[in-house]
Amino acid sequence: MSTIDSIDKNKLPNHMAVIMDGNGRWAKQHGKMRVFGHENGVKTVRDTVESCVQIGISFLTLYTFSTENWKRPKFEVDTLMRLLVSSLKKELVTFMDNNIRLNTIGNIDSLPKKANRELQEVMAKTSGNTGMTLTLALSYGAREELKNAVQAISAKVKNNIISIENIDETIINNHLYTHNLPDVDLLIRTSGEHRISNFLLWQIAYAELYFTDVLWPDFNEEHLVKAILNYQNRERRFGKTSEQLT
Ligand code: IPE
Ligand code: IPE
Ligand code: MG
- pLDDT tens for 163-174 read 999 999 999 999
Mean of pLDDT values over 52-74: 98
Question: Sorting pLDDT into bands at 50, 70 and 90, what band is 246?
Answer: confident
Provide the pLDDT for residue 192: 98
Region 89-109: what's the mean pLDDT? 98
- Of 19, 62, 75, 191, the one to substitute when testing ligand 1's pocket (max ligand atoms within 8 A of C-beta) is 191
Distance between Cα 109 and ligand 2 center (Å): 21
Ligand nearest to the CA of 41: 1
Domain 10-140+182-233: which topology? Undecaprenyl pyrophosphate synthetase (3.40.1180)
Confidence of residue 213 (pLDDT cuts 50, 70, 90): very high
What's the CA-to-centroid distance between 26 and ligand 3, angstroms? 10
Residues with CB under 6 A from ligand 2: 19-21, 63-66, 68-69, 193, 195, 197
Does residue 1 carry a pLDDT above 70? no
The three state secondary structure string of the chain is CCCHHHCCHHHCCCEEEEECCCHHHHHHHCCCCHHHHHHHHHHHHHHHHHHHHHHCCCEEEEEEEEHHHHHCCHHHHHHHHHHHHHHHHHHHHHHHHCCCEEEEECCHHHCCHHHHHHHHHHHHHHCCCCCCEEEEEEEECHHHHHHHHHHHHHHHHHCCCCCHHHCCHHHHHHCCCCCCCCCCCEEEECCCCCCCCCCCCCCCCCCEEEECCCCHHHCCHHHHHHHHHHHHCCCCCCCCCHHHHC
pLDDT in tens, 129-139: 999 999 999 99
